[in-house]
Structure 1
Amino acid sequence: MKVVESQQPLAIVGVGCLYPQGNDVEKFWHQLVQAESYFSKLSQARFQYYNDNVKSHFSNWQGSFFDTVEFDLKRFRIPPIYRKAIASITGMYLDVAEQCFYSAALANLATETNKIDVICGTCFGFDSTYLNALKIEGVASLDDLLLTDKNKLQLLKNLLQEHFGCTSHDRVGEMASSIPARVASYFGLRGRVQAIESADVSGYFALESAALSLQAGLSDAVMVITGQCIESLLMPLLLSKKGFEGTGIGNPFLSQNNGILLGEGAAGIVLKRLADAKDNGDHIYAVISGFAASTSASANGLKYNPDSKAKVAALEKACHYASIETKDIEYFDCISAGGESESVATLRAIDNIYSPTVKDKPLYINSSVAVYGHTFANAVMTGVLATSLAIHHKNFPASVLEQNKRVTTLSHQSSVTNNSSLSQPWYNENNRYIASIMGSALNGLNWNIILSNPIESSNTSGFINQQVIKRYSTANTENDAKSYREPIAIVGLGGAFGQSDSVSDFWQDLLASTDHLQRIPNDLLPRKQFYQEGQSHYLSSYAEIGAALKKRDLNLARFKLFPKRLALMDRVQKVALAIADEALQDYGFSDKRQQDINAAIIVASNLSLSKERENVVDLCRNKLNGIIQQIYPEFIAHQNIANEVERTNHLMLDGSLASGTASLIAQCMHLPAAPYAIEAACASTFAALQNAVLALQLRRYDFVLAGGIELPVNLRDLVLCSAQMMLSKAKISPFADQADGFSPGDGAAFFVLKRLSDAQRAGDKVYATIDAIGGSADAGSMTAPDAEGQTLAIQRAFAQVNYKPSDVQYVEAHGTGTRLGDMAELTALNNVYGNKVENYVSRTKPLMVGSVKASNGHTFSAAGGAGLMKTVLALHHKIIPATLLRRNIDPQLPLIKIPAEIISCNKKWPENNNRRYAAVSSFGTGGINYHLLVSASDKN
């Protein structure tokens, strides 16, 4: 494992982009340098299923829009069945990835064990998401009086299939994490795969995730791509309530501006550690030398925080990381939502910083969103690409501040600007070109990124925060390549799975071998409309078993949420808030204790919540009803919405975004924490935990609440998973000779994390420590599990610790309950934990193996959380709960080779020199693999 400085600067060695007026970087630069904005009306043809009054509301909306969002999928060798199922925007990401891949010459690194990550930033659902929602709602709308004729029901399903499409791969196709997984698969990249969402600051957290992995030495290169298309009219409708207006001027610095215009597009970069990029002889466009954010937790939901002091704090912190002074910056790209108060706060922040500086130092201020529109999830990366090219070309683009003299009334009395309506050379006698990208986000975050040109000397210490490095060098005294990795303490737990309402209930149910898999209630699975026993049928479910979350009192009253906001929240958000509260209370959280701490909240989740889907369906209700009435003329639409446009308010967006879950927790807990959501298919919780662990180890945060939640016992998942024959016809049976799929289970798990030294110093209760998390991509099939990819993830976990596989006594398996999946997983375990593995000491006792899915079903994004929760409690209580075995164990599994045993009864944890070691696997669709190592001592 290569040890690197925690704050080493990162080189941008590859770039790519796709915008309505430019399909490559050269055209992007030409548009930027001339400050040429090309705004046009939003095409109504793209939204054929929306109600007429909704479409008419956007008839005059202006922005930077594509004529169509259909991108080329065929040339990326995607099979026809997938091309019909996946989001059209996938082609846009692949196009940008291809530009990045070749401009960075990544083909030279693409070995079978390469450590090249793919991280994508996004926001809102995709066209495939909404088509799936519409066709399912088309059947769900029928009442019992219309269901006497099964032939008519089948005719309706056929008609819905004609309108909205229906394939066996619809569930996989709509997942946000399938996009980076496809990028990794197409280009043969074997590093981590993640999709990140945090509204209009998704790009910032995608960059943070990339930086952490590179600075920790887990990755050798990271491809970061963000993109945004308007794939539903819900998006602009909800954003208009937050200040975005399609009839605005488009320039955030013009006086009386009523909102910046939206834009579409994608941008990508490839990052390497600067020292590596220089050693490799890479072409370096620019260097990211520091980035930081200032957080605020607003009790009023998602809203911009036009606070000049917060902007100054973020800038000063970023400059501190970059080891520069604020006065060294010569160029600012201001990513603004366009309101007058936001523009004033931005300019006032710059003035406050530059007021004491020498006046003969020119300052150049610009805004890329005025040229390309505010591309929301892609806005940060638009600024990064634009500023990188300005540094690369040593050229100031034409300033939008000078395009029209009606700039904001705030005068630049204290700072000397060098803005021009024409492009001009960027001259610097010291050959140092330093720029700042300054922005704010709907979640209250004010952020800043410092870019510069690569300095000629190979000594990069000028860009490194030496104080942080000094703290690391003294944190551990062992002279070992792995000694800098401080274990991360789990100091608080919160969870609910199936009928288990709390962590204590969950543990007692495990000890009692409680089976939570039951017949799904009719209100979750309307059987007359959807249940069809036997094989897979379109828009039907052949499975009716699952572990639905108990109807529980979520006890949200103490958070004093407005009734209107509570009503508009997704159920996932309500459950997550309750479980996060349990974890924080278990830790001993108090407002006073945590008010000044540097914190983050990372929520693993499906990135398109049910509330968003429901809201889109409402906007298409009239057209959907018309389709139903073609088969059922007597169908009477129950239309409770008088005017869909008028009924929307500023709180609907909060309840529609996955990252809104993290923001909600921060707001209700009065915890100023950086919030974002992450998806890595069924391994999502471990992706969140890995980011949390790295951020703590590299001291970016001091306190992280991380976990996962998903409620897949719902109509959509039952129908779409049945189409792909993923579900068991009875109950999930991990490791069985007749395993035939999984049973869905609702669940949530949250973990409060701190560095072990901090937890010990504070006297916190430590359940266990996370020692390492390894990740990989199969870079092969999007659906079939691969033992080699899983092996790679396990090996990467052990490369980070000082103990051996033979020291691990228990592995909590992913255990999806298919013969193919179980065989791949046990083969991977044998490849690393087996006695015949070279250079490893043979184990003296069989490796114990189990899977919590046998009791609680497959909880999708929360699956890793369920496995880790069980394992942490087992370590803490020194008891390994039994795994429910419903059938005979598959004799083909290589249990004897390891050797290993499936734990079928509660077992006392064996002694092992006062320390107990365990591991947990979590794998996801698209070849996404994670393996976590966790341990506890008798002192815990």
Structure 2
Amino acid sequence: MHSESDARGATGTARTPQNEPVAIVGIAALYPGIRGADAYWRALTEPPPDPGSGPAPSLAGIEVDVARFGIPPAQAGALTRMQLLMLEAARECLEDAKGGDRTLRTERTDVVAGVCSGLDRQYANALRVEGGRYARELERAVSAPEFGGSARTAAQAADELRSALVRRLGASPHDRVGEMASTIPARIASAFKLRGRTLALESADATSFLAIAHALDSLRGGLSEAVLVVTGQREEGPYLRAALAAKGLVAPRTRPFAADGDGFALGEGVGALLLKRLSSAVGDGDRIYATVRGCAVHHEGRPGVFRYSTSVERRAETARAALRECGASPDTIGYVECGASGVARETAAELAALTSVFADAEPGSVVVGSVRDRLGHTFANAGLAGVTKAALALHHQRLPARPPQPPGAAQDLSAAPFRTPAEPQKWAPPPGGEPRRACVSGASLTGTLCHLVLEEHETAGAAPAPARPRTARASAAPEPVAIVGFGGRFGDAPDADAFWAAMLAGQDRIGPLPESLLDRELYHRPGKLSLTHSYTDLGSPVEVPAAPPGGLRIPPHRYAVMDAAQRVALGVAGELLARRGRAGSGYAAVRPAGRGLVAMGTNLSLSRERRTAAGLALGEVEAAVAGLAALGHLDATGVATLLDLVRERYAADPPPGGPEDLDGSLAGGVAAVIANEYGLDAVPLGIEAACASSLAALDVAVGRLRSGSVDYALAGGVELPCNARDMVLCSALGLLSHERITPFDTAADGFTPGDGCALFLLKRYADARRDGDAIHGLLRGIGASNDAKSLIAPDVDGQVRAMRQAFGQAGFDPADVGYLEAHGTGTRVGDRVEIAAAARVYASPHRRRPLEIGSAKSFFGHTFAAAGGAGLLRALYALRTGVLPANAGLTAVSPELDLERIPARVSTATTPWESAPGRPRRAGVSSFGTGGINYHVLIEEHLDGPR
């Protein structure tokens, strides 16, 4: 994400631009009736079979051969349909690029997936668990005298319904892993042996733009050799359409440039791009469709309901920033692929902004179009669909035509330099020998604005490719990143200070969950694995704020429909900002200056969306009821009357009814609410990397800062897994402890779930010193990898790669690290593998004293997406206070751990952290996720004086 200033941050610090072109070397396109880059281009250049029809309805006709991806049969039933489609898109993209092992450096090839809204298995799993509550109401109703059922018949009907839902909806011990968005890139990495970073992200309909922007930063920063970007959108259920309709955005057909446009038709599609630095692509002899030269992503943060920006000024500013980044003049642009949502006010603002940018262009010299008139609005995939169209136009040197439009007034282009040809045309080169260039414009309903500049690749007389960088950072360690703010809420600790106080007290904060979170009658069955019950009732839940933080004006009806994760994160962001200023100073006085990023690690399907979706799918449950043998004594009228009574008692979550409903369910909305309500000029982004999501968000933020793309970043994670759905699904795979989590103990048998959120405010070190910020610690290195072996089994080699990457940036040795905040999953295998990996990196004869090892999970349980944030917060407090915290509940350290090799010890008591004068304390933080995802962060105590 690139700020308006390409050479300097908004606050004036000089930046070295990293603007090497990025080549598009592989394309996949899966759309209704379309498969492959050639078919996609034909569909865009040939008349549609029915000019008056809308987009084809679905991707249901695309077949995927599951066997070719090496998926174990036991896991196949837990896969989402989107996962299969993205696997196929990845395969086709890699084949299109002729990638394979010949040109891809698999250890440094990242996979980034973009999705928005829930996936089919998430909805099915939520409905199956919710079916337990419905079954209880059915049992109560059947036992009523008017339905003639005995208590035994009623119980039989309830049990039969639970079994019927398992059959109808499917159920597997692997459901919790299979349903996750981050499993998609992890599965792709596993299938094609790619060992770089893997993550999923979401930012509403800016999702694919942000996926591409992240890939550009990773490539230009030397963190990766190639990035496979895969984005997609399906109608997984009725929820997304209903929520968008409640915003007044859904129409029968998308009319991109209609003056009276009142919305868009939802489309489906999955696309993929394989990206490399141009020097690498030329050196590898790749076919290059086009190059990405400029990228700008800005945000117009406005409090209130999420809505598209209608600011002509901000849109023009974003386009100019992208052109400035690559030094391209507007008069060299021959084609603009517009977002053109079909919402008249937004489209008018987009065209007015482009008219301003191209004010000096000759009349009719710039062709404008939008792929939405063919595909509809493919939401999370929309930006990538547009980029693919523009890249193919450059590759074929042809300007695509606009298909015949339905009757209606069009936007007035008479005073603009734009035209919309009715037939495809040869694309004449610009005057002066400039290469052909195209722009791609887009926007998100959360307020984000996006603009990319693409350029054709001219092979004749091309200069030799510069040497490829072989390491992430070739020489000196990169500038440290300063942690200048933090906040946290975990379990019963309402803020970060209370979190640390709990650590010093030495007692875990785990206990029986309240009935409001886990209805024991329905969902708790101790001692055995089950697809419908949890064998434990322990956790560490947070108290969700009942009202927004003081100073924020969020109406009660809007706050009421916000997901609990959004409310908790909003409160923690308020704590972070308040910590920066004086009491009563207000948020305006403590907001960071310049352009920023809010990167929030989170589950990309929030609880509120799943509950609402379950309510919309109530008909599926009622259809199962109609076929129950236990109700054979009732005729059709009796069953209908029974269903009416149960529906009334069941009280499902209401369907979306207002424009704020979708906002409260978007995972990217967690970050967007923070940016918008606190008035931050910061692009919001939701990131999922399983249990490593917090550190993945931190990694994205650090990449933006080091590239000069942003001036500050809020990064962290939030998740609230203390609920029946998560506990049932985790119990089915035997992931939970039967007692409570005890990392590194002989009794370790799994984890205990905990709710939590942590946020950190990051700035470049030089900027933080210049601005007089309180610097709480320095982030010196961050490494990431994917095992690419197994989705559920940890791997020593993958963890070692992440640790060594971090030390490659840090500028100090493993022997200089005094404390390791471990992932500490609390399983014998997980703990043993983690210590074995640490031993390969941290073992040193030069170590002055044993490496201390601990884990925040021993106090507050496993907080899933927030886990890395909890670990970083604990390590940061240890640095700041000079205290090494103990582990809670540790009785006997497992003899299976290879501690002597380091040497290391698991902390059993709180002790002072001794350090020589002038020598900063240093700590490592690990976070690992299902899917083979590994992250390692190195932080350092801040001592006064320049570095």
Provide the TM-score with structure 2 as the length reference.
0.90
Seen in structure 2, the aligned counterparts of structure 1 residues 72 and 241 have a Cα distance that, compared at 3 Å, is farther
The one-letter code sitting in structure 2 at the alignment partner of 1:754 is: K
Give 3-state SS (helix, strand or coil) of 2:231's partner. strand
**For residue 863 of structure 1, what is the aligned residue in structure 2?**
867
The Cα of 1:749 is off from its aligned counterpart by 0.2
Cα 1:267–1:407, aligned 2, differ >3 Å: closer, same or farther? farther
Paired position in structure 1 for 2:69: 76
**2:612 corresponds to:** 615
Matching residue's letter, 1:413: A
Look up the match of 2:597.
Answer: 600
- Superposition map of 1:167-186 within 5 A: 167-186=172-191
Taking a change above 3 Å as real, the CA distance of residues 99 and 672 of structure 1, as seen in their structure-2 partners, is same
2:407 and 2:805 map into 1 onto residues whose CA distance is 57
One of 318, 334, 341 as aligned partner of 1:314 = 318
The question of whether the paired residues in 1 share the 8 Å contact of 2:21 and 2:277 is answered with yes
2:908 is aligned, of 901, 904, 910, to 904
- Alpha carbons of 1:21 and 1:70: their partners in 2 closer, same or farther (altered >3 Å)? closer
Question: Is 2:266 the counterpart of 1:262?
Answer: yes
Cα separation, 1, equivalents of 2:399 and 2:106: 41
Task: Report Cα offsets for 1:820-843 as digits up to 9, x if no partner.
Answer: 1011101100111113xxxxx632
Change (3 A) 1:15 1:113: closer
Partner of residue 204, structure 2:
199
What SS is found at the alignment partner of 2:665?
A: coil
For residue 604 of structure 2, what is the amino acid of its counterpart? L
Partner SS state of residue 893, structure 2: coil
Per-residue deviation, residues 203-226 of structure 1 (Å, max 9, x unmatched): 011112111111111100000010
More displaced 10-residue stretch of structure 1: 904-913 or 800-809: 904-913
The partner residue of 2:676 within 667, 686, 706 is 667
Q: Deviations over 1:156-214 (max 9, x none)?
A: 32111111111100111110000000000000000000100011110011112111111
Counterpart of 1:44 in structure 2 is none
Match for 1:800 among 804, 809, 824?
Answer: 809
Return the offset for 1:255. Answer: 3.8
Equivalent residue runs for 1:601-750 within 5 Å: 601-628=598-625, 630=628, 636-639=645-648, 648-750=657-759
Letter paired with 2:29: C
Equivalent position of 2:333 in the other structure: 329
- Alpha-carbon distance between aligned partners in 1 of 2:411 and 2:336, rounded to the nearest angstrom: 19
Distance 1:158 1:199, change over 3 A: same
SS where residue 852 of structure 2 aligns?
A: strand
Find the partner of 1:939 among 927, 931, 944: 944
Distance 2:736 2:592 in 1: 45
Determine the C-alpha separation between the residues in 2 that align with 1:19 and 1:358.
36
Matched residues in 2 for 1:138 and 1:262: separation?
29
Structure 1 gap segments, 5+ residues each:
42-60, 463-479, 836-840
SS where residue 283 of structure 1 aligns? Answer: coil
Q: Does 1:408 align with 2:410?
A: yes
Question: Offset at 1:455?
Answer: 4.6
Q: Deviations over 1:657-693 (max 9, x none)?
A: 1111111111210112111100000000011000001
Q: Distance in 2 between matches of 1:759 and 1:911?
A: 25
- Give the residue type in structure 1 aligned to 2:310: P
Matches of 1:199 and 1:375 in 2, distance apart?
11
Asked whether 1:531 is paired with 2:524, we answer: yes
* 1:864 Cα deviation after fit: 0.1
1:459–1:759 CA distance, 2 compared to 1 (3 A): farther
SS in 1 for 2:780: strand
Report whether the alignment pairs 1:155 with 2:160: yes
2:116 and 2:47 map into 1 onto residues whose CA distance is: 26
Aligned to 1:366: 369
1:34 partner amino acid: E
Quote the residue 2:194 is aligned against: 189
- Aligned residue among 337, 340, 361 for 2:344: 340
**Residue 234 of structure 1, aligned match among 232, 236, 239:** 239
1:444 to 444, 447, 457: 447
Cα RMSD (Å):
2.6
User: 1:221–1:271: 8 Å Cα contact kept in structure 2?
Assistant: yes
- Structure 1 residues 259 and 557: CA distance shift in structure 2, 3 A: same
For 1:54, the equivalent position in structure 2 comes to: none
Deviation at 1:39, TM superposition (A): 8.7
Structure 2 residue aligned with 1:580: 573
User: For the Cα contact (< 8 Å) 2:821–2:926, is it kept in 1?
Assistant: yes
In structure 1, what is the Cα distance between the partners aligned to 2:722 and 2:836? Answer: 30
Q: Does 1:88 align with 2:93?
A: no
From the superposition, tell whether residues 109 and 708 of structure 1 become closer, same or farther in structure 2 (CA, over 3 Å): farther
Q: Please state whether the residue corresponding to 2:35 is helix, strand or coil.
A: coil
Q: 2:288 aligns with which of 270, 284, 287?
A: 284
The separation in 2 between residues aligned to 1:40 and 1:893, in whole angstroms, is 68
Residues 596 and 399 of structure 1: CA distance in aligned 2, closer, same or farther (over 3 Å): farther
- 531-540 or 921-930: bigger deviation: 531-540
Q: Which residue of 2 aligns with 1:432?
A: 435
Q: Which moved more, 1:598-607 or 1:99-108?
A: 99-108
Shift of 1:639: 2.9
Identity of aligned residues (%): 36
What's the counterpart of residue 18 of structure 2? 6
Q: In structure 1, the residue corresponding to 2:454 is in which secondary structure?
A: strand
Aligned residue runs from structure 1 range 22-37, under 5 A: 22-34=34-46, 36=48
**Which residues of 2 match residues 808-847 of structure 1 at below 5 A?**
808-835=817-844, 842-847=846-851
Q: In the alignment, which residue of structure 1 is the partner of 2:28?
A: 16
Structure 2 unmatched ranges of 5 or more: 1-14, 141-150, 467-472, 632-638
Shift of 1:907: 1.6
Whole-angstrom CA distance in 2 between matches of 1:119 and 1:89 = 14
- The one-letter amino acid paired with 1:571 is A
The equivalent residue for 1:384 is 387
User: Greater CA deviation, 556-565 or 770-779?
Assistant: 556-565
- Where 2:554 maps in the other structure, the secondary structure is coil
The number of aligned residues is: 893
Amino acid at match of 2:395: H
TM-score, normalised with respect to structure 1? 0.91
Q: Are the structure 2 counterparts of residues 311 and 866 from structure 1 closer, same or farther at C-alpha, using a change threshold of 3 Å?
A: same
Indicate conservation of the 8 Å contact 2:235/2:268, yes or no. Answer: yes
Give SS of 2:293's match.
strand
Give the distance between the partners of 1:871 and 1:439, measured in 2 at CA.
Answer: 40
Structure 1, 680-689 or 761-770: larger mean CA deviation: 761-770
Q: Secondary structure at the match of 1:637?
A: helix
Contact 2:104–2:226 (Cα < 8 Å) also in 1: no
Distance 1:419 1:461 in 2: 37
Alpha-carbon distance change, 894 to 37 in structure 1, aligned in 2, over 3 angstroms: farther
Alpha-carbon distance in structure 2 between the residues aligned to 1:404 and 1:84: 43
CA distance in 1, matches of 2:127, 2:78: 14
Partner of residue 453, structure 1: 456
Question: SS where residue 810 of structure 2 aligns?
Answer: coil
Q: CA offsets, 1:15-37, max 9 Å, x none?
A: 11111111111100100122537
Aligned partner (choices 211, 214, 237) of residue 209 of structure 1: 214
- Inter-CA distance 747–773: structure 2 relative to 1 (3 Å threshold): same
Moved more, 574-583 or 586-595: 586-595
Q: Which segment is superposed worse, 286-295 or 580-589?
A: 580-589
Deviations 1:840-898 (A, max 9, x none): x6323211111111111000000000000000010011111101243321111100111
Question: Higher mean Cα deviation, 348-357 or 578-587?
Answer: 348-357
Counterpart secondary structure, 1:655: helix
Structure 1 counterpart of 2:299, one-letter code: T
Query: Is the Cα contact below 8 Å between 2:602 and 2:693 reproduced in 1?
Result: yes
The CA distance in 1 between the partners of 2:376 and 2:546, in whole Å, is 44
Which whole-Å deviations, capped at 9, do the CAs of 1:911-936 have from their partners, x for residues lacking one?
A: 14421111000000000000001101
